[in-house]
Amino acid sequence: MTNNNLHEDYSCPVDQDVLEESTEKIFDEDDQNSENGFSEFNFSKELIQTISDKGYSSPTPIQKAAIPELLLGRDLVGQAQTGTGKTAAFALPILERLKKNVGHPQVLVLAPTRELAMQVAESFRTYSAGHPHFKVLAIYGGSDFRSQINTLRRGVDVVVGTPGRVMDHMRQKTLNTSHLSCLVLDEADEMLRMGFIDDVEWILEQLPEERQLVLFSATMPSEIRRLSKKYLNSPAEITIKATELKERLIRQRYITVQNVYKVNALQRVLEAVSEEGVIIFARTKAITIVVAEKLESYGYNVAVLNGDIPQNQRERTVERLRQGSINILVATDVAARGLDVDRIGLVINYDMPFDREAYVHRIGRTGRAGRNGEAILFVNPRERSFLSNLERAVGQPIERMDIPNNELINSNRIKKLQEKLIRAASTDRDNPEETNILEELIKNIENELDIDPKELTLAALNLAVGYNPLLEHGNEDWIRQSAQRNTRNDRRDNKFRQRRRGDFDSNRPEDEMERFRVEVGHRDRVKPGNLVGAIANEAGLKGRSIGRIRIFENYSLVDLPKQMPDKVFQALKKVKVMNRELQINRTD
């Protein structure tokens, strides 16, 4: 089994502010001892077996520091960047300490977005494979409320939710918190940015006094410091200093492409970017199968890795990729956790990842063992506003890339053929007898056909190229249209950035945006962050996709993307901010 770490190993600089009180531990990302496995934590046999089955054998620094403290039941403040393995750092000890047959939630995890809530819940399910009776539920705005109530009534052990939806259940008495023994605040600084801190404090005030509190945050702004000092009891404090891995040079680029052309764009990228090992990340199991079948029809040697693939088959597939018997792997995030293959030179994000941590995990599969790597992200026009969120996660810009055209593909095909010829000409066969046979064959053909060596060489090249055309002459109209659309989007993005800096040149909403009125304003002490947080979670939007916000005394104006589904619009009417319903309406 490969000595994998239970984290997404791509390091980015983090804010080094450190909390002041109580004992603090500071670790470097490089401070790892591969000989120390998870068995040092005295986990149960079932949990150790699950960890081993997933291919993990060495804990990360945040796990080494946090797990012993959490197993003791201590409160904890952890400062750790996305991609350091913090989810496992709190999920594993929580699973170990759960009581059996309680029938009510014992653990509540608060996450700032529905995507993170879903991911954390999925992580709990993954790590609890050896606990057949364990139940976890993710609750967030936009999903069926009644279905969540029914699941809660049947009994769950862990609830992972966004603050607004958790508050709704607590107010309606459908979430019983009387048996809670642990609360985790994940990405606390993101909750602050989205205006959820007041909601978090309200939730904390309703919980039993005797409970374990765990807070994780990438940075430690003053408001988060205040929260930790007010509610946590003599916490253990851990700071993970993420070092920039100079040896891992990952070039990151994105392509804007409509969903209908994604497979075409994928084929062209694989033609133009020459790498020996490729992982293509897709959002669902169904998409992995569709993409793999399409690539096989193009003649690629490809395999699939998703949650439906048995564990022993997954291991064989990864080993084939490692040895080079397959060159392309199409995988989901969950299936590729901990995947460590040095020869991966290119990662393609066929689907936009749900959140920053998933993106960091994905691109961390390339640029390993001191090699350079490349990561390419497919973005449909509606997803472009999410790019800045990913750029903050990795601490560097993601470059724009055009869809490879025929000229680039043809140039690359000729280059590949030339490289193969050079390698063949400079490499002798291992068996001299076979070389003699080939030389004799060439002489026989020359004598039989009476042709010169040049004609015979061309015949051999034709045989090597095969029946498929050497040059690509496919229709490029859709590529040109995509390039023109990119230019328009770039202009729109520039306007968006200007507007974010306060450079408002017009009272009208921008293209692709629509203006709405909500019935909360200065009188309700509402702030832009409160509106962004509430609307983003209910509508399934990222905060960056919400446009200009203007707050007046009795109401506010908010610019949102056009063509919002009516179901989402009706749900937003009932969303509460500062205990008042938005009662959202279009301004026209």
Q: Answer yes or no: is 480 within a domain.
A: no
Q: Answer yes or no: is 486 within a domain.
A: no
Predicted local distance difference test score (pLDDT) of residue 26: 47
Predicted local distance difference test score (pLDDT) of residue 350: 96
Q: Per-residue pLDDT tens for 179-214?
A: 999 999 998 887 887 788 889 999 999 998 889 999
**Angle of helix 114-127 relative to helix 45-53, nearest 10 degrees?**
110
Q: 339 falls in which pLDDT band (50, 70, 90)?
A: confident
Predicted local distance difference test score (pLDDT) of residue 72: 93
174-183, 272-281, 501-510: segment of lowest average pLDDT: 501-510
10-24, 66-80, 256-270: segment of lowest average pLDDT: 10-24
- Average pLDDT across the chain, whole number: 81
Cα–Cα–Cα angle for 400, 401, 405, rounded to 5 degrees: 155
Q: Are residues 416 and 401 in the same domain?
A: no
Chain-centre distance of CA 65, in angstroms? 24
Non-local (6+) Cβ contacts of 347 within 8 A are: 278, 279, 280, 281, 362, 363, 365, 366, 373, 374, 375, 376
Q: Are residues 237 and 262 in the same domain?
A: no
Q: Which DSSP category does 324 fall into?
A: T
Q: Answer yes or no: is 313 within a domain.
A: yes
Which residue did the predictor score with more confidence, 350 or 442?
Answer: 350
Q: 12 falls in which pLDDT band (50, 70, 90)?
A: very low
279 strand-pairing partners = 329, 347
Q: 82 falls in which pLDDT band (50, 70, 90)?
A: low
Q: 109 falls in which pLDDT band (50, 70, 90)?
A: very high
- Mean pLDDT (whole number) for 33-39: 56
Residue 18 has pLDDT above 50, yes or no: no
Non-local (6+) Cβ contacts of 324 within 8 A are: 276, 277, 343
Q: Are residues 236 and 158 in the same domain?
A: yes
Q: Answer yes or no: is 49 within a domain.
A: yes
In 3D space, the residue among 68, 49, 64, 60 whose CA is nearest the CA of residue 8 turns out to be 60
Q: Per-residue pLDDT tens for 62-80?
A: 899 999 999 999 999 998 7
The CATH number assigned to the domain holding 522 equals: 3.30.70.330
Is residue 32 classed as helix, strand or coil in its secondary structure? coil
586 strand-pairing partners = 516
Residue 393 has pLDDT above 80, yes or no: no
Q: How many CB atoms lie within 10 A of CB 96?
A: 18
Q: Answer yes or no: is 495 within a domain.
A: no
Residue 8 has pLDDT above 70, yes or no: no
Q: Are residues 72 and 150 in the same domain?
A: yes
Predicted local distance difference test score (pLDDT) of residue 294: 94
Which residue did the predictor score with more confidence, 588 or 559?
Answer: 559
Predicted local distance difference test score (pLDDT) of residue 455: 83
Chain-centre distance of CA 164, in angstroms? 23
Residue 358's Cβ-count burial label (10 Å; 0-12, 13-18, 19+) is: buried
- Mean pLDDT (whole number) for 215-223: 85
CA–CA separation, 241 and 60 (whole Å): 12
Q: Answer yes or no: is 31 within a domain.
A: yes
Q: Are residues 393 and 412 in the same domain?
A: no
Cα–Cα–Cα angle for 284, 85, 376, rounded to 5 degrees: 45
Q: Answer yes or no: is 365 within a domain.
A: yes
Question: Looking at the 3D structure of the chain, how many domains does it have?
Answer: 4
411 strand-pairing partners = none
Q: Are residues 322 and 431 in the same domain?
A: no
Q: Is the pTM of this model over 0.75?
A: no
Which residue did the predictor score with more confidence, 203 or 217?
Answer: 203
- Mean pLDDT (whole number) for 441-450: 84
Q: Are residues 45 and 82 in the same domain?
A: yes
Q: Per-residue pLDDT tens for 479-499?
A: 887 777 666 665 555 554 444
Q: Are residues 456 and 357 in the same domain?
A: no
Q: Which DSSP category does 382 fall into?
A: G
Pair 4, 340: CB distance under 8 Å? yes
Residue 462 has pLDDT above 80, yes or no: yes
Non-local (6+) Cβ contacts of 479 within 8 A are: 402, 403, 405
Residue 173 has pLDDT above 90, yes or no: yes
Non-local (6+) Cβ contacts of 257 within 8 A are: 265, 378, 379, 380, 403, 482
Where in the sequence is the domain holding 108, given as residue range(s)? 4-241
Q: 336 falls in which pLDDT band (50, 70, 90)?
A: low
Predicted local distance difference test score (pLDDT) of residue 7: 42
Do the strands 513-518 and 556-561 form a parallel or antiparallel pair, or are they unpaired? antiparallel
Q: Answer yes or no: is 489 within a domain.
A: no
Q: Per-residue pLDDT tens for 421-441?
A: 888 888 888 888 888 898 888
In 3D space, the residue among 335, 351, 336 whose CA is nearest the CA of residue 287 turns out to be 351
Residue 248 has pLDDT above 50, yes or no: no
Tokens 């253990």 found at: 236
State both tokens at 547: 């446009």
Predicted local distance difference test score (pLDDT) of residue 28: 44
161 strand-pairing partners = 110, 139
Tokens 């205006």 found at: 195
